[in-house]
Amino acid sequence: MPSSGVSVENVEKTSTATSAAMDIQLTHAELLRELTATQGVVERKTTIPILSNFLFEAAGDRLTITATDLDLSLRTSCPATVKKEGSCTIPARKLYEYVKLLPDGPITIKQLENHWVQIRAGRSNTKMVGMARANFPALPAFPGGTATKLPVSVLKTLISKTIFAISNEESRYTLNGALMVIKAESIAMVATDGHRLAHIETKANFAGVNGEMKTLVPRKAMNELKSLLDQTDQETIEFAKDDSTLFFRIGGRLLTSRQLTGQFPNFEAVLPRDNNKAVVVSCEDLTGSIQRVAQFADERSGAIRMKLEKDELRLSSSSTEAGESEDSIETSYKSDPLIIGFNSQYLLDFLRVTSTGEVRLEFKDSQSAGQMRPEGGTDDYKYRYIIMPMRI
């Protein structure tokens, strides 16, 4: 059983007034923004009812909102007029859907007896059934010491270029995330599902890092991190980890995730070294051809055939149910002819996130992995995509 990102021993106390009847007022816009940010973390199908609730903690002049599914947690906050400090839990989905329907203006949230919570806004008055604050799991605290600052724009790029290659098979536990490798002068991210591999690296300055800092980031954490990065105007975020948990501090929000344990595959061993047959084609042309031909590929395998010959790349597919299709792209290819099969969806996944106008396809033979790379564009990132061939 993997270790959880939630620890009973390591508690971050955000409010000492846990038994007082909380009474606060805040704006609709502030509350809705933070509730929206937490939606990807809230557990919808759970055998532990408290995980379907938000934890609200009011202290000083802020309301802190926490959501967790035990593997992933998000703690965020917003300004509030705190008449009485305290804490309570509120059903997350129901509250979010209700607040979305309220008009702009002030909202009053007051804790009642037996864990009930009253919400007033304008002429609306609603009472919701919460649960005991004591049932909400304790969350790990951000580790002391120096955190590593990661550039937001770089991290967004690394995630978007690799997340699609993460395995969906729960049994392949160490492939259910991406490997982030931080060195003093660079940062890289790699993901694989055993059939294809996405690898991207860029130069960066991490003065406090000695050697390599390798971290396996789970897919769900990657998704939430990407969402939070898209919303922030910060230039950097703080990253830290302890023995079991990853911490990402994005402005006033703290995302925590359990670490994936186990050994990530030695990806460097599968990077092609001698793919000496290469062709450069337009991303747009290749995407269009694959999409058309893939309509007639076998539904289960999605396999299409690539045939490289002089000055031409020919794509084709056939299935007994759908029929057959062929497309060709004019190229400047001069090497020996080659026929190779690939999963069409895997090809499209890469082309969808490649921002350059052209892509370089590199091959060795029909049994060896192919490599795809953006051609031209920026030199800031080294991006490569390895894809295993299929029998056709």
Q: Is the CB of residue 144 less than 8 Å from the CB of residue 232? A: no
Q: 344-379 b/e with 16+ CB inside 10 Å = b?
A: bebbbbbbebbeeebbbbbbbeeeebbbbbbbeeee
In the CATH scheme, what is the code of domain 148-268? 3.10.150.10
Distance in angstroms (rounded) separating the CA atoms of residues 45 and 55: 18
Topology annotation, domain 271-387:
DNA Polymerase III; Chain A, domain 2 (3.10.150)
What is the pLDDT at residue 10? Answer: 39
Q: Token pair of 130, please?
A: 């919460």
Domain 23-135 identical in fold to domain 148-268: yes
Cα–Cα distance between 362 and 117 in angstroms, integer? 62
Q: Please, what are the averages of pLDDT over each run of 10 residues along the chain (392 residues)?
A: 42 41 96 95 85 96 96 96 97 96 97 96 96 94 88 96 90 84 95 95 88 92 95 95 94 94 85 92 96 94 95 95 95 95 97 90 95 84 95 82
Amino acid at 95: L
DSSP-derived letter for residue 310 is T
- Does domain 23-135 fall under CATH 1.10.510.10? My reply is no
Quick check: 43 and 52 in contact, CB under 8 A?
yes
* Paired tokens of 121: 């806004």
- Domains of the chain, residue spans: 23-135, 148-268, 271-387
